Amino acid sequence: MEKETKDEQPFKYSKFELLPTVIRVEIIDKTGRAYVNMDAKTVHIAFQDNNGTLKLFIT
């Protein structure tokens, strides 16, 4: 389910999308796994700043 930017949103996102099948989130950096959540209930992905910023919203 994808939503386009709406003026009433507190932040301007070029894309805000629910990822309904994702239950595990891993962020990998040069040291390896920097963040792991193996029990994510909801995951949304958003792009901001002309697609220069990636944001993950995890609950």
In this predicted structure, what is the pLDDT of residue 15? 76
Beta strands (DSSP E) in the chain are 2-3, 15-18, 25-29, 32-37, 43-48, 53-58
pLDDT tens, residue by residue, 1-16: 444 444 444 556 777 8
- Give the largest Cα separation in the chain, rounded: 39
pLDDT tens, residue by residue, 13-59: 777 889 999 999 999 999 999 999 999 999 999 998 888 999 999 99
Structural domain span for residue 45: 2-58
Provide the whole-model pTM: 0.69
Structure tokens at 17: 């999308």
How many independent structural domains does the chain possess? 1
